[in-house]
Chains A and B, each alone.
Chain A
Amino acid sequence: MTTPIIQTQGLTRDFKKTRAVDGLTLAIQPGELFGLVGPDGAGKTTTLRLLAGLLDITEGGATVAGFDLARQPESIKPHIGYMAQQFSLYAELSVLENLQFFAEIYDVSPADLAERTERLLTFAGLTEFEHRRADHLSGGMQKKLALACTLIHEPEILLLDEPTTGVDPVSRREFWNILTELHLDGTTIIVSTPYMDEADRCSRVGLMYAGRLVICDTPQKIRAQLHGEMIELLPDDWQTAKALTENLPGVLEVQTYGEALHLLVDSGKKRLPQIKRALTKGKISFRSARLAPVRMEEAFISLIRRLEE
């Protein structure tokens, strides 16, 4: 194992009444694509801000890119690219002017700037919009421009706070294709996301809950943590179906997804016919009931539910 590029030791941050991040201990290797997931208010944003040197540390410590976070935050900054959750570029400046601005702040030479601008604009699909004002771009394009601005100094570490929240599905996919390319190029990326399909694309995922890192592993291993199998049920009336199935033998957990129910059972083969019979007997009509693979989403909801109990 190489030395971690980010290493935190009991990293803690308090706000007036709440402990936003509680004793975070984490080691991230160079080149990882690390996903930070968890419900709203779990401490994802605070963690990323701490790592970017934007908040004072209450307790514990961390090193980022070989520098101590508490004592040398300014030495860390040239090595990181940080992208906040809200749009934080200059609305009145054009795409090119925003890139140029951040290049100058990061001391990128004019020659490098010219070469990188062209590459990043192509990369982000913004070439034909280079003279457009940032506030006249669509939400997805704004996110891609923000990413391009944080990449202008070719940082070793990218800290991205929910970069795809509020972005249409097509732009989301494009954004993740860019992240995957950066990952393949060797950039270390920490990205927080509320979307579990995105978490599935990470090399490692950390689940935060109430300020603590409750689980941290590869997506495969996290899915494997969920014991049992899953049955996807599409009833006509999910409320009565939920009330009925919850108490059936072998059903560990029922999660609702809109109109659909995901039932966690000890054995799919054994329980599926039983459940179908029970529904017919209870006069609850359903469109389909089938065995389905367990996704990250079920695994996390199950984990969080256990934590809440």
Chain B
Amino acid sequence: MSWRHIWAIARKEVRHIVRDRSTLILVLFTPTALLLLMAYALTVDIKHVPIAVLDYDRSATSRAFIQQITAGEDLELYAQASSMAEIEAMLMQGEIKAALVIDPNFARDLLGMRGMPMQVIIDGTEPGSGGFAVDHIAWRAEEFANQSLTNQIQAMGFSLESLQPLDLRVRTWYNPGLKSRNDLIPGLISMVLGMPALSVALALAHEREHGTLEQLMATPIGRAELLLGKMIPYIIVGLLNVIMLPAFAMAWFHVPFNGNFPLFFALSAIFLFAMLSMGIIIGVFMRTQAAALALSFLLIFYPGFFLTGIFFPIASMPEAMRMEALGLPGTHYAIITRGIFLPGIGLDILWPYAVMMAVLGLAYTGVAALFFRKKLG
């Protein structure tokens, strides 16, 4: 292993990155741009979902219920319908996402404590806002029923204190406002930091495509020297992003960073090593940049999105997918970013994830070195 060889490869790679403006922009700023884009696109604070109401009861109680449902910012009363046909038309036009149909016996049943008969119709083609409407109507209905029950009990002459109802209060720690961005952004950082891996895969495929790899294979350069020299500049670029991304998240999205930054930086370096090893494997096997790009999406970005637990809990995955998730550095790193950003936990808890990433990185490098031969065809 000659450092002069590694240095020669790394320096020419840096020159390539710096002089080719599109590569420079790709490796330096895409992670931040992606973070910005995805944070806005994926923040699930839905507001003002339009609904229609068809009130067959027309009682004071049903009118009070409708008022309560549309009191917040979440649901908006688009129209009072007078027939099912009208509701259907509005749903078909996409004017409303959900409709609430109140049964003629609504007030009678509620006051008789037999329930609160009603129906919610949603636009199944938009399960997101439809489901949101169902949840929020149910939540308001429960509130309304409780209120009504309390009123009745008090009317009967019981004091509330003597009832001692079960008091269940849910308190959320670390992210008290339950702001979805605070939780989402640290997870997204783990995903967008996959970019340097894509770059290194493309860079290796680029050399193959342009014949420079053939030229290198005819020289005495060692395989490990070549791969390491190729990785080093992208690790440096990645580490710049490790500084840029949290700074951007804090400045732009006001995401709190409660943990230890040097620890975050060190663990991120291990993550980058593991991810770049995956990138190198892709570059070793793919003959063209187009193929390397396609495989990077298949192996780095889609799993990063679906399998690393950023959006879908790993615990709810089938066994096989859970195993796959554990083989992705991003799964462990997402736990680390979320753990360091909000609760600010340290290495005493995070070390197994760091070890896992290091093991994966070494394994992937081993695979790459095993399959990368100085041969064509």
Instruction: Please indicate the chain A residues that have their CB under 8 angstroms from the CB of B2 in the complex.
Output: 107
Mask, A84-108, CB within 8 Å of B = 1, is: 1011111111000100011011110
Pick from B8, B210, B218: contact of A101, CB under 8 Å: B8
B369 to chain A, nearest CB (A): 15
Interface positions of A from 52 to 86, Cβ below 8 Å from B? 52-56, 73-74, 77-78, 80, 82, 84, 86
Mask, B1-33, CB within 8 Å of A = 1, is: 010110110001001100110000000000000
Tell me whether A105 and B214 are in contact (CB under 8 A).
no
Bound-complex Cα distance A87 to B374 (A) = 19
A256 to chain B, nearest CB (A): 35
Asked if B115 is at the interface (CB within 8 A of a chain A CB), the reply is no
Pick from A54, A78, A90: contact of B220, CB under 8 Å: A78
Closest A residue to B377 using CB positions: A55
Asked if B211 is at the interface (CB within 8 A of a chain A CB), the reply is yes
Instruction: Please indicate the chain B residues that have their CB under 8 angstroms from the CB of A257 in the complex.
Output: none
Tell me whether B8 and A82 are in contact (CB under 8 A).
no
A55 touching B8 in the complex, CB below 8 Å, given contacts A74-B220, A105-B221: no
Tell me whether B211 and A88 are in contact (CB under 8 A).
yes
Closest A residue to B212 using CB positions: A88
Tell me whether A82 and B215 are in contact (CB under 8 A).
yes
Asked if A132 is at the interface (CB within 8 A of a chain B CB), the reply is no
Bound-complex Cα distance A82 to B374 (A) = 14
Tell me whether B214 and A77 are in contact (CB under 8 A).
no
Asked if A49 is at the interface (CB within 8 A of a chain B CB), the reply is yes
Instruction: Say whether chain A's binding surface is mostly helix, strand, loop, or mixed.
Output: loop
B21 to chain A, nearest CB (A): 11
| Size category of the binding interface on chain A | 20 to 34
Closest B residue to A83 using CB positions: B215
Bound-complex Cα distance A91 to B217 (A) = 18
Pick from B4, B216, B376: contact of A55, CB under 8 Å: B376
A54 to chain B, nearest CB (A): 5
Instruction: Please indicate the chain A residues that have their CB under 8 angstroms from the CB of B211 in the complex.
Output: 84, 86-88
Tell me whether A54 and B16 are in contact (CB under 8 A).
no
Tell me whether A55 and B375 are in contact (CB under 8 A).
yes
Asked if B162 is at the interface (CB within 8 A of a chain A CB), the reply is no
Asked if B219 is at the interface (CB within 8 A of a chain A CB), the reply is yes
Instruction: Please indicate the chain A residues that have their CB under 8 angstroms from the CB of B216 in the complex.
Output: 105
A80 touching B15 in the complex, CB below 8 Å, given contacts A49-B376, A90-B212: no
Instruction: Please indicate the chain A residues that have their CB under 8 angstroms from the CB of B8 in the complex.
Output: 101, 104-105
Instruction: Please indicate the chain B residues that have their CB under 8 angstroms from the CB of A54 in the complex.
Output: 214, 217-218, 374-376
Closest A residue to B215 using CB positions: A88
B4 to chain A, nearest CB (A): 6
Mask, B258-284, CB within 8 Å of A = 1, is: 000000000000000000000000000
Bound-complex Cα distance A93 to B8 (A) = 12
Tell me whether A77 and B375 are in contact (CB under 8 A).
no
Tell me whether A84 and B16 are in contact (CB under 8 A).
no
Bound-complex Cα distance A19 to B97 (A) = 66
Interface positions of B from 331 to 377, Cβ below 8 Å from A? 374-377
Bound-complex Cα distance A82 to B219 (A) = 8
A135 to chain B, nearest CB (A): 10
Mask, A39-54, CB within 8 Å of B = 1, is: 0000000000100111
Interface positions of B from 194 to 247, Cβ below 8 Å from A? 210-212, 214-221
Closest B residue to A94 using CB positions: B15
A82 to chain B, nearest CB (A): 4
Instruction: Please indicate the chain B residues that have their CB under 8 angstroms from the CB of A87 in the complex.
Output: 211
Instruction: Please indicate the chain B residues that have their CB under 8 angstroms from the CB of A73 in the complex.
Output: 374
Bound-complex Cα distance A55 to B215 (A) = 13
Instruction: Please indicate the chain A residues that have their CB under 8 angstroms from the CB of B219 in the complex.
Output: 77, 102, 105-106
Tell me whether B220 and A101 are in contact (CB under 8 A).
no
Tell me whether A105 and B374 are in contact (CB under 8 A).
no
Tell me whether B15 and A56 are in contact (CB under 8 A).
no
Tell me whether B7 and A104 are in contact (CB under 8 A).
yes
Pick from B19, B221, B374, B377: contact of A53, CB under 8 Å: B374
Tell me whether B212 and A105 are in contact (CB under 8 A).
no
Tell me whether B4 and A91 are in contact (CB under 8 A).
no
Bound-complex Cα distance A86 to B16 (A) = 19
Bound-complex Cα distance A77 to B218 (A) = 6
- Which of B15, B16, B374, B377 has the most C-beta atoms of chain A within 10 angstroms of its own C-beta? B377
Tell me whether B5 and A105 are in contact (CB under 8 A).
yes
Bound-complex Cα distance A73 to B216 (A) = 14
Bound-complex Cα distance A232 to B207 (A) = 48
Mask, B164-183, CB within 8 Å of A = 1, is: 00000000000000000000
Instruction: Please indicate the chain A residues that have their CB under 8 angstroms from the CB of B218 in the complex.
Output: 52-54, 77, 80, 82, 84
Closest A residue to B229 using CB positions: A105
Tell me whether B12 and A90 are in contact (CB under 8 A).
yes
Instruction: Please indicate the chain A residues that have their CB under 8 angstroms from the CB of B215 in the complex.
Output: 82, 84, 88-89
Closest B residue to A159 using CB positions: B218
Closest B residue to A88 using CB positions: B211
Tell me whether B12 and A97 are in contact (CB under 8 A).
yes
Tell me whether B15 and A97 are in contact (CB under 8 A).
yes
28 examples of A-B residue contacts, CB within 8 angstroms = A15-B377, A52-B218, A54-B214, A54-B217, A54-B218, A54-B374, A54-B375, A55-B377, A77-B219, A77-B220, A80-B218, A82-B218, A84-B214, A84-B215, A86-B211, A88-B212, A90-B15, A90-B212, A92-B15, A97-B15, A101-B8, A102-B219, A104-B5, A104-B7, A105-B5, A105-B216, A105-B221, A107-B4
9 other contacts beyond A52-B218, A54-B218, A107-B2, with CB at 8 A cut-off? A15-B377, A54-B214, A84-B218, A87-B211, A88-B214, A92-B15, A93-B12, A105-B221, A133-B19
The 10 closest A-B pairs by CB, nearest first: A88-B211, A104-B8, A82-B218, A88-B215, A92-B19, A77-B220, A86-B211, A52-B218, A105-B219, A54-B376
